[in-house]
Chains A and B, each alone.
Chain A
């Protein structure tokens, strides 16, 4: 990521785009709202999906709101500079859409008490800093079930970005539910240490395929692993975005992040003056996490099984982290019937029993 910072530092000043000029005709100044993305809006994954949410804000409020975004902002000192610039440019509400922006958000928020910040997937809050997240692990439970049923080699590959709670939740949830339907399943994990680098993501996919993996999951933002899987004739799942261009194979289903409703609600709260610092964490039930169409490559009974699970999670009758569950080293974590609380999940830093990969410390 650092190798891009040189480039991006210079890019920042040049690429602050200002959309929504319709407000110029109104007597009142439009509310300025800014978004900071970790990848390009054309990654067709994570950042693309956040930008869809931004566009939903534009569509909902028209000239009353002026949104803008900066893409390709590395997690590090550059993030702080971009946030400062956004605040100085008169933005009143700023969405920082990657985990690694957390400390930058806290630092800048302390300097601009009149500006409201929203940080995605983090856990630090202040009077003018909210956090919001989606329960991606609920979606992982569903695609983990499909993966466990679809693998023939009993090896499932997982491309991780960084060993942070959000990613660790996903790996655990996918593994638990793959094991549940297929006790012989193994999970192979590769950490790419990037959110977006198509060549590296493709290499990671190739490394896992060489290990005999025939179902691949990713927690990185580009569609490069999909292309590699297509070549190798194995199965994948869309990540963050539907990635429907790769259906019916290799992409056999997907986890879709739907940020639009949250963004529209929060901007609405700014407009009517009711904004307050909160921590939002919605899942399948509230529509923040969607399961993309399960393709024709999946047998009907597996599809039905996955849909039943998704419905149970959405209705709140089943929690993906329900005991009995042990930690990787065999020590007990959750007793039979016990459900992980949100506090434990948001700091999750260990694998569950049965995963052989090492957790980076």
Chain B
């Protein structure tokens, strides 16, 4: 990766590895952060995979047609948000079943993205530039790890911080949580449950779309049918195992991305560790770590928003 002499340990450049970790984790982190807000508002949207893949093609098409990756990330986020609003219309206005609708959203997204993507196979997207952080980028060790990334990596971390602050310190965050815990009480207090949930869904969809666009514009970078290949489901799992807390979602996403990259690097460096163990390590380590944290804090079982997945009808 041309980052000069980093810290070499056992033949692996740890600095380059840590830098790759941040890139590999970003799509899942974005999608999981978005889903966290939707679930905190009491909506279970299983369509993350579908929103991500629509973000991947929407972002790719936007970037290629406009020549600007920034425009691509915006169109990617919009594509994801539109998918989420479709889900919101069906589940919040027409009161359809959330689980079935979410699964349908994923199938719809995979199909529609394949159709839109036909003309974009084999096309190279405009490069997403790294942010120039001047002297910071030249710091030993920390420079290459932390300060030589594109803006989306920083944006994703800022988003986690913003979501944490929003949920814990803001009045609107409190309202959102109230809607997710007990929508009838929130409704009785005069809060507009459906509007709050549509907003949360749109945010979740935009974040998932951004994650998908990061996949097609930076991490791979190209459009391939079905290219999310299950990343949306990993994001969903991380929200649950992270017991609906922003900081644990960050930890889970970085653990998963980190161990994925690490095990591939260990293989490439020729370590004599059984490959099967390495291959399942990202799943096992992430789940075990998050379950242990949740168990120690005794919030795990009760952490799910009480109204998660339940249908709200104002006339009741």
B267/A190 in contact, CB under 8 A? yes
Q: Whole-angstrom distance between the alpha carbons of A356 and B17 in the complex?
A: 22
Q: Whole-angstrom distance between the alpha carbons of A237 and B121 in the complex?
A: 17
Of A14, A196, A210, the residue contacting B16 (CB under 8 A) is A210
> How distant is A361 from chain B, measured CB to nearest CB, in Å?
7
Please name all residues of chain B whose beta carbon is closer than 8 Å to the beta carbon of A199 when the two chains form the complex.
24, 27, 215, 219-220, 227-229, 231
Of B107, B220, B267, B279, the residue contacting A11 (CB under 8 A) is B107
User: How many contacts A-B (CB < 8 Å)?
Assistant: 142
Q: Which residues of chain A (201-216) have a CB below 8 Å from chain B?
A: 202-204, 206-211, 213
Supposing A7-B230, A199-B231 touch, asked if A43 and B224 sit within 8 A by C-beta, the answer is yes
Q: Which residues of chain B (225-244) have a CB below 8 Å from chain A?
A: 225-231, 233-234
B110/A11 in contact, CB under 8 A? yes
Q: With an 8 A cutoff between CB atoms, is B268 at the interface?
A: yes
Q: With an 8 A cutoff between CB atoms, is B192 at the interface?
A: no
Q: With an 8 A cutoff between CB atoms, is A42 at the interface?
A: yes
Please name all residues of chain A whose beta carbon is closer than 8 Å to the beta carbon of B136 when the two chains form the complex.
none
- Indicate with 1 or 0, residue by residue over B83-122, a CB within 8 angstroms of chain A CB atoms: 0000000000000000000010011001100100110011
- Indicate with 1 or 0, residue by residue over B238-276, a CB within 8 angstroms of chain A CB atoms: 000000000000000000000011001101111010111
- How many residues of A are in contact with the other chain, CB < 8 A? 55
Q: With an 8 A cutoff between CB atoms, is B221 at the interface?
A: yes
- Indicate with 1 or 0, residue by residue over B111-145, a CB within 8 angstroms of chain A CB atoms: 10010011001111000000000000000000000
Q: With an 8 A cutoff between CB atoms, is A315 at the interface?
A: no
Q: Which residues of chain A (302-361) have a CB below 8 Å from chain B?
A: 356-358, 360-361
Q: Which residues of chain A (1-37) have a CB below 8 Å from chain B?
A: 3-4, 6-7, 10-11, 14-15
Q: Which residues of chain A (236-258) have a CB below 8 Å from chain B?
A: 243, 245-246
Supposing A11-B107, A203-B261 touch, asked if A211 and B269 sit within 8 A by C-beta, the answer is yes
B274/A360 in contact, CB under 8 A? yes
Q: With an 8 A cutoff between CB atoms, is A191 at the interface?
A: yes
A72/B261 in contact, CB under 8 A? no
Q: Whole-angstrom distance between the alpha carbons of A316 and B96 in the complex?
A: 64
Q: Whole-angstrom distance between the alpha carbons of A44 and B16 in the complex?
A: 30
Q: With an 8 A cutoff between CB atoms, is B1 at the interface?
A: yes
In this complex, what residue of A is CB-closest to B28?
Answer: A199
B226/A196 in contact, CB under 8 A? yes
Q: With an 8 A cutoff between CB atoms, is B49 at the interface?
A: yes
A197/B268 in contact, CB under 8 A? no
In this complex, what residue of A is CB-closest to B108?
Answer: A14
Q: With an 8 A cutoff between CB atoms, is B70 at the interface?
A: no
B222/A227 in contact, CB under 8 A? yes
Please name all residues of chain A whose beta carbon is closer than 8 Å to the beta carbon of B230 when the two chains form the complex.
3-4, 7, 197
Q: With an 8 A cutoff between CB atoms, is A198 at the interface?
A: yes
> How distant is A216 from chain B, measured CB to nearest CB, in Å?
11
Q: Whole-angstrom distance between the alpha carbons of A223 and B222 in the complex?
A: 8
Please name all residues of chain B whose beta carbon is closer than 8 Å to the beta carbon of A200 when the two chains form the complex.
229, 260, 264
> How distant is B273 from chain A, measured CB to nearest CB, in Å?
8
Q: With an 8 A cutoff between CB atoms, is A66 at the interface?
A: no
Q: With an 8 A cutoff between CB atoms, is B181 at the interface?
A: no
A230/B124 in contact, CB under 8 A? yes
In this complex, what residue of A is CB-closest to B266?
Answer: A207
5 intermolecular pairs with C-beta atoms under 8 Å apart: A44-B122, A197-B230, A204-B264, A207-B267, A223-B222
